[in-house]
Structure 1
Amino acid sequence: MRRTSKDSADSARRITRRGMILGGVQLGFATVLAMRMRYMQVDQGEEFRLLAEENRVNLRLIPPARGQIFDRNGVVIAANEPAYRITVVREDAGDLESTIARLATLVELDPSEIERAIAEMQRSAPFLPVTVADRVSWDSVSRVAANAPALPGVNPEVGLSRHYPHGEIYAHVVGYVQPVSERDLARYEDPDPVLRIPRFQFGKIGVETKYEDMLRGRAGSKRVEVNAAGRVMRELDRREGEAGADLQLTVDTRLQDYIHARLGDESASVVVMDLEHGDLLAIASAPGFDPNKFVRGISYDDYGALQGDERAPLVSKTVQGFYPPGSTFKMVTALAALEAGITGPGNTVWCPGHLKVGSRRFHCWKRAGHGHMNLENALMQSCDVYFYEMALRVGIDKIAEMGRKLGLGAIHDVPMSAVGEGIMPDKAWKRERWNQEWRIGDTVNCSIGQGDVLTSPLQLAVMTARLATGRSISPRLVRSIDGVEEPSRGGEPIGLNENHLRWIRAAMYDVSNNRRGTAYRSRIIAEEMRMAGKTGTSQVRNITAAERARGVTRNEDLPWNRRDHGLFVNYAPYDNPRIAVATIVEHGGGGSSAAAPIARDVTLQALYEGDPPVEAYPTADRDRIQELQENLRQRRQMAPDERTSRA
C-alpha cells in the first residue's frame, strides 16, 4: 500500500526524536566517562601511579659493612674480608638434584649444608636464591663461572664476612659473630629489617655483641623491577648503606700476644691496667679458642672438645672466673684496720703459727710461726695470724666496706660477656643469702681472702690500681668510637688516708725487693722499673687435722684440679706508678712460684713496650729469658693459624 506524504512526515519525526534521545544518552555516557577519566588521571593520578609502581617495583635491602675493631695502636683485630658463596635459584635450576650433582664435581660441598639448603628451598619462593656453599675459594668461584651454561640457576656471589686475624688472643675480649637466630631477634621489640637478611652476621659475645647496634651500621636499598611471578628483571636504582662505627680498644696487641705466649699451656689469666685513664692494656685468658671457627660454623667435634676441656677455654677467666683472692686480700684487711684506728705501723702481733678462736685453731702458712709481726713484716712475709687478729678487732662489715671501696664485689663496666660481681660478704649478705648469722670464724677466714670471698682478676687489677694511685680508677676497654675518644676513667681521690696508703705500698715494695719477701725471686733489677706486689695462694680443698698432723700434701703430688691457685698483684714503677697487673694461675700451686714470675715478665714487657733488656732481670733468670724472647720472636713471625696448629 502506498504511503501518504503525511505518514512519511510522521515517520521522519519519530526517527529524529529517537535519534536525539539515543544521541543524548551517548553524550551523557561520554560525559560521565570523561569525568571519570579526569578524576582517575588528574585528581587521583598520583595515587594510582604509586599503586602501579608498587606492583612493578620491589625495594630490597643491601647489608651494610660492619664496623672494624682496632687496638690502641691502630692494629686491626676484627676485620671484614670478601667471602665468596654459591647460590641456587630453584625455578631456574630445572632438575635440582642433577644440577647440584654437577656442581659437586666442581666444588666441594658439605652434605649437611646441601640438606639444609634443599630444605630452605622447599619453604622459600622458587625465585629466591639459597646459599649451598659459603666461604668458597676464588678458584671454586672461577670454575663455577666458567661452567655457567651447564649449571642453570647456579650463581657465584661475593659479600663481606668477619675475620679475626689474631685468632685466639682476642677471642674472649672481642668475641665473634654468627648468623642471626630467632633468639637474637627476640632481644628486640621491633627488629631492624636487615637482621632478617639470610645469613646476616650478628655479634654473639664480647665487644661484638655489646656494641652490636653501633657496629652493624644502616642497611642500603635498591629498587628492582620484577615480573608478575616476582622474578627480578632489572635494577632501577641503588642507595648504599651506612657502614657501622669503627671501634678502637685500649688493648695493645703486642702485649696481649706476649701474655698468651708467656702463659703457654697454663690455665690462667692476666689483666694489665694503665693508671692514668684506667685503660686495659691487656686482658688475657688462657687457653683460648679460634673465633673464626664460630664465624664459619664450628663442627660438633670441635665444639665438644672445647666444652669438654677441663681448662675451660670458652670461659673468659678475667671477668667470669671467680677465685678466693688468698693473701692478695690482706691489703684490704690491713687498710680497714688502719682506717678504723685499730692498728699502726709500729703495733705488733705475736704469731706462734696459729690462732685459737673458741675450740678451733686457724693456722698460719708457716707452721712454726713468724714471731712478732708488725704491719710491714706481716705483708712482706704474708703472716696469716697478724691478719686474723686485725680482722677480729675491726670486724667483717668494715673489711667488706673497704673491699667494695677498692673495687671488689662490684660489676665493672667493660663490654665483655657475663661480667660478674663476685662476693664481698658481710653480715647482711649471709643473712640474705643463707638465712644464717655471721660467725667469728667466718671473719677469720675472710681476713686472708678465703671463706666466702670471691674475686675476679679484673677486680684484683682495679684494687691494685686504686692502692697505687689513691683514686677511684675504673677499667676502660673502648678508647674511641669513630675517632671520638671515650671519657677517661682515671677517677677522683678515693678518700683514704694517704699515710695509710704509703705504709701499704712500702710493705708491697718489700714483698718483691726485700730478701725475706715472698716474691723476692721474681723481683725487677732495673732500679727505675721496680715493682710493688703481693703474692697469694688460695686453697680449693679442705685440709683435715689428720693431714696437718702427718704433713700437708704438696701441690705437685695432687691431681691438677685439686692444687691451689697461684695469684700475684703488683704495680710499677714503685716511685711513679704507670701500670697495675693481676695474675691468676689456676691450680698453679702457689703465688710466689707460679704467678709472680709471669707477672714480673708481663710488667717489664708493658713498661718497656717490647722486649726488655735482660739486665732488668735477676742473674739467675737471664738465660731463660733470652730463650723465651727468642721463641717469642719466632712466634711473631708465624701466621695466627700456624700458631694455633702448633699449640
Structure 2
Amino acid sequence: MKKPAKDGGRSTRKMSRRAMLMGGVQMSVVAALAIRLQSMQVEQADQFRLLAEENRINIRLIPPARGLVFDRNGKAIADNEQNYRVVMVREDAGDVDEVLAKLLTIVDIPEDTIAKAKEDIFKRSPFVQVTIADRLSWEDMAKININAPALPGITAEVGLSRVYPWGAELGHVTGYVGPVSDYDLSKIDDQDPLLQIPKFQIGKTGVENKMEHTLRGSAGTKRIEVNAIGRVMRELDRQQGVSGQDVQLTIDADLQSYVQARLDGESAGAVVIDLEDGDLRAIASAPTFDPNLFVRGISVKDWTDLNENKYRPLAAKAVQGAYPPGSTFKMVTALAALEEGVIGVDETVYCPGYTDVYGTRFHCWKRGGHGNINLHESLKQSCDCYYYEISQRVGIDKMAEMARRFGLGIKHDLPVSAVVAGLAPDKEWKARVRGEDWRIGDTVNASIGQGYVLSSPLQLAIMTARLATGRAIEPRLIRAIDGVETASGSGAPLGVNENLLRRIRASMGAVMNHSRGTAYRARIVTPEYQMAGKTGTSQVRRITADERARGVTSNADLPWERRDHALFVNFAPVENPRFAVAVVVEHGGGGSTAAAPIGRDITLQALYGGTPPLTAYPSNVRGRIADQQERISEKLASITPRAKGDRA
C-alpha cells in the first residue's frame, strides 16, 4: 500500500537529521584524531623518537680489565689472559630453548654447562647478558659468527680471564677469583651492577678477595643496534670502563718459590720479614694448592683431594695456624721478669729437672736438670725450670702485656684470608671466656709457651723482628698501588730497655753458635752471616706420670698427629740484622732437628739472594746440602719462563 506524501516527507526529514548527527559525530572523531596526530607528530615527536630509538638500541655493560698483581721485582703473579666466550641476552633471543638448540648444533658445549646457563638466564633480568660458555677455541668463535643470523640474542666475544703464572707457589698469598654467586651477594653490601652479571669473577680468598675493590675497576658501556628479531646489527659507540688498579706486593716470588720447595713434604708454615721496613718477603704454607684450579671451576675430584688431605693444603698455616709457641716464647717471659726487676740478668735459678708447684710437678726437658742456671744459659740450653720460677714472680698479666708489645695475641692487618689473632692469655681473659679463675699452674705452663698461649708463624716472625731491632715493626704485604708506595712498617721504638734486649740477642746468638746451644748443628758458619735464634717444641698431648716413669715415648714411635710441633725463630746477621724468619713444622718433633735446619736454609737464601755457597754450612752437612740444593734447583727449573711471570 502506498504511503501518503505527508508521511514520506516526515521520514525524509528524520533521516536527514540522523545523517547530520552521525556526520557530526564522525567529524568530531576525525577532528580529535587529527588533533592527537598533530600532538604526537609535532609536539611529542622528540619523545616518541626517543622511545623508538630505545627499542632498537640496547645498552650493555663492559666488564673492566681486572688489575694485575706483581711481586716486589715486577713479576706478574696474578695476570689476565684472553678468553673466547659466547653470551646471550634473553630479551633479544626470543625462544631461548630454540636458540640454544641451534647453538649446540654448531659448537659442542657440555649439557651441564647449558643447564647452568639456562638457570642463570631465567634467574636474571631479561636484558642482562649471560655467559653460556667460555674458554672456547678460535674455530668455535668463527662458527658462531658465521651462523650469527640464525642465533638471535647470541654474541661471540673476547673477554679476559684470570691466570696465576706461578701457580701453587703463591696460592695462599694471591688467593683466587671465581664467579660471583648468590652466596657472595648475600654476604656483601655492594650495588655494583657488575655483580649481577652471571659468571663475573670476584676475589674469593687471599689478596684477590681483600683487595677486591682496588682490583675490580668500574664497568664501561656500549650501545648496540638490533633489528626486529633482536639480532645485533652494529655497535654504535662505547665508553670504556676504568681498569682495576695494579697492586705490587712485598713478596719476592723467587724466594717464595724456594721456601715452598724447602717445605715440600712437610705440613708447615714459614715467614720471612725484612727488618728495615717490615716487608714480608715470603709467606709460605705447605702443602699448597694451585689457584688456577678454582678460576675455571674446580672438579669434584680435585676438590675432594684438597679437602680430605690430612695435611690441609687449603689452610694458610703461615697466618692462619695457631700453635703453642713452646720455648720460642721464653724471650717474652724473660723480658717481662727483667723489666719488672724480679730477677737480674746474672741471677741464677736451680734446675733439678723439675719444679713442684702446689703438689703438681712440672718437668724440664732435660731429665737430670741443668743445675744453677742464669738468663744466658737458660736460653742457650732452653732450660724450662728457669722460666717456671721467674714466671711465678712476675705473673701472667705482665707476661701477657709483654707478649702483646712484641706482636703476639694481636690480629695484624694483612690483606690475606683468615689471619688469626693468636692468644696471649691473662686473668681477665680466662674469667671472661672460661668463667674460671686463673691458676698458678696456668702461669707456669704459659712461661714456656704451652697451655693457653697460641701464636702463628707470622706473629713469631714479628716477635723476632722486634727483638732484633727494638722497634714495633709491622708486617707490610702491599708495597704499592698503581705505583704509589704504601706506608712503611719500620715502626717506632718499643720502649723496652735496650741493654736488656742486647742480653737477649746475645743469648739467642749462643743458641746457634755455641757448642752447647740447642740449634748449634743448624748454624751458619760464614762469620758475617751468623744468625741468632731460638728453638721450640710444643706438645700436643699430655705425658702421664706412668709414661715418664717408663720413659717418654719418642716422637718417631708415635702416630704423626700425636707428635710434637717443631718451631724455630731467628734473625740474621747477628751484628746487623736484615731478616727475621719463623718456621713451624706441624708434628715435626723437635725444633732443633725439624725446624731449625729449614730456618737456616731459608735465611741463607734470603741473605745471598739465591743459592748460597756450601762454605756457609757446617762441613759435616755439606754433602747432604749439595744434594738438597740440586733437588730444589731441579724443582724450581721445572717452572717454565711463562710460569715465572715473564711477560714478553
Corresponding letter in the other structure for 2:335 = L
- CA separation of 1:332 and 1:526: change in aligned 2, threshold 3 A: same
Q: Which runs of 5 or more residues in structure 1 are unaligned?
A: 1-21
Using the alignment, how far apart are the partners of 1:141 and 1:624 within structure 2? 54
Shift of residue 238 of structure 1? Answer: 0.6
Aligned 8 A contact 2:445 2:451 in 1: yes
User: Structure 2 length normalisation: TM-score?
Assistant: 0.89
Corresponding letter in the other structure for 1:221 = T
Secondary structure, in 3 states, of the residue corresponding to 1:278? coil
Aligned residue number for residue 545 of structure 2: 545
Aligned residue number for residue 3 of structure 2: none
Deviations 1:108-142 (A, max 9, x none): x4332233234445667889875443223445545
Corresponding letter in the other structure for 1:337 = A
Aligned 8 A contact 1:570 1:582 in 2: yes
Secondary structure, in 3 states, of the residue corresponding to 2:135? strand
Aligned 8 A contact 1:127 1:231 in 2: no
Shift of residue 38 of structure 1? Answer: 7.8
Aligned 8 A contact 2:208 2:215 in 1: yes
Aligned residue number for residue 467 of structure 1: 467
Using the alignment, how far apart are the partners of 1:129 and 1:337 within structure 2? 66
Aligned residue number for residue 616 of structure 1: 616
- CA separation of 1:67 and 1:125: change in aligned 2, threshold 3 A: closer
Shift of residue 292 of structure 1? Answer: 0.7
Using the alignment, how far apart are the partners of 2:226 and 2:105 within structure 1? 29
Aligned residue number for residue 507 of structure 2: 507
Aligned residue number for residue 304 of structure 2: 304
Aligned 8 A contact 1:93 1:152 in 2: no
Using the alignment, how far apart are the partners of 1:376 and 1:167 within structure 2? 45
Shift of residue 541 of structure 1? Answer: 0.5
Corresponding letter in the other structure for 1:99 = K
Aligned 8 A contact 2:129 2:197 in 1: no
Aligned 8 A contact 2:269 2:285 in 1: yes
Using the alignment, how far apart are the partners of 2:192 and 2:151 within structure 1? 35
User: Structure 1 length normalisation: TM-score?
Assistant: 0.89
Stretch deviating more after TM superposition (30-39 or 603-612)? 30-39
Secondary structure, in 3 states, of the residue corresponding to 1:533? strand
Aligned residue number for residue 576 of structure 1: 576
Matches within 5 A, 1:77-116: 77-87=77-87, 91=94, 95=98, 99=102, 102-103=105-106, 107=108, 109-116=109-116
Secondary structure, in 3 states, of the residue corresponding to 2:438? coil
- CA separation of 1:277 and 1:355: change in aligned 2, threshold 3 A: same
Aligned residue number for residue 15 of structure 2: none
Corresponding letter in the other structure for 1:413 = D
Secondary structure, in 3 states, of the residue corresponding to 1:582? strand
Matches within 5 A, 1:61-460: 61-87=61-87, 91=94, 95=98, 99=102, 102-103=105-106, 107=108, 109-120=109-120, 131-138=131-138, 140-141=140-141, 156-227=156-227, 231-460=231-460
- Aligned pairs, how many? 618
Using the alignment, how far apart are the partners of 1:298 and 1:516 within structure 2? 51
Using the alignment, how far apart are the partners of 2:491 and 2:41 within structure 1? 70
- CA separation of 1:323 and 1:182: change in aligned 2, threshold 3 A: same
Shift of residue 342 of structure 1? Answer: 1.2
Aligned 8 A contact 1:85 1:134 in 2: yes
Cα RMSD for the two superposed structures:
3.0
Using the alignment, how far apart are the partners of 1:249 and 1:94 within structure 2? 47
Deviations 1:312-364 (A, max 9, x none): 11111111100000000000000001100111221000100000111111000
Using the alignment, how far apart are the partners of 2:170 and 2:247 within structure 1? 14
Shift of residue 99 of structure 1? Answer: 3.5
Corresponding letter in the other structure for 1:290 = D
- CA separation of 1:433 and 1:35: change in aligned 2, threshold 3 A: closer
Aligned residue number for residue 484 of structure 2: 484
Deviations 1:252-296 (A, max 9, x none): 000000011111110001000001110000000110111111110
Using the alignment, how far apart are the partners of 1:183 and 1:191 within structure 2? 15
Shift of residue 618 of structure 1? Answer: 0.8
Aligned residue number for residue 6 of structure 2: none
- CA separation of 1:506 and 1:365: change in aligned 2, threshold 3 A: same
Corresponding letter in the other structure for 1:211 = M
- CA separation of 1:641 and 1:365: change in aligned 2, threshold 3 A: farther
Shift of residue 102 of structure 1? Answer: 3.2
Identity %: 59
Corresponding letter in the other structure for 2:102 = T
Matches within 5 A, 1:509-548: 509-548=509-548
Shift of residue 387 of structure 1? Answer: 0.5
Shift of residue 199 of structure 1? Answer: 1.1
Aligned 8 A contact 1:267 1:585 in 2: yes
Aligned residue number for residue 566 of structure 1: 566
Corresponding letter in the other structure for 1:540 = V
Q: Which runs of 5 or more residues in structure 2 are unaligned?
A: 1-22, 644-648
Aligned 8 A contact 1:346 1:375 in 2: yes
- CA separation of 1:172 and 1:102: change in aligned 2, threshold 3 A: same
Secondary structure, in 3 states, of the residue corresponding to 2:306? helix
Secondary structure, in 3 states, of the residue corresponding to 1:169? helix
Aligned 8 A contact 2:151 2:231 in 1: no
Secondary structure, in 3 states, of the residue corresponding to 1:186? helix
